[in-house]
Amino acid sequence: MGQDEGTVPKSVAECMKLLRRKGFRQSLVRDEVARTDAVMFNRVWRGVRETVLAYSESEALAYRVRTDDADAADPFTVDPDQRMWHHGGEFLDVARQLLALPPPPGHSVFG
């Protein structure tokens, strides 16, 4: 699940395309707390959920969590103690970091 060498996206459009190519489903979700919409990229693989929530090019959040530790109906709320990894910041930065992560423990890049 790590990023292939030479495929580092250089623009938001390239990054969104790469996320979709890597199996992330794109949708628009409403954050009722912030009263704003966000673009969500989400994939579930062998019991692990990886999510990128983009409010704008400059404000995004990405995280990895076990599927049992996340509520798919509320992607904005994840217990900090349950996250395997998380990062906030600019969309390109957080998405690149998530894509560059090694497979979760017990997963294989060949699986």
Kindly list the domain boundaries of the chain, sorted by start residue: 27-100
Strand order in the sheet with 83-89: 25-31, 36-45, 48-56, 59-66, 83-89
One digit per residue, pLDDT tens: the chain, 111 residues? 444 445 678 899 999 999 999 999 999 999 888 788 999 999 998 889 999 999 999 999 999 999 999 888 888 888 889 999 999 999 999 999 999 998 887 665 554
- The pTM score is 0.85
Task: Please give the biggest Cα pair distance in the chain.
Answer: 41
How many other β-carbons are positioned within 10 Å of the β-carbon of residue 49?
20
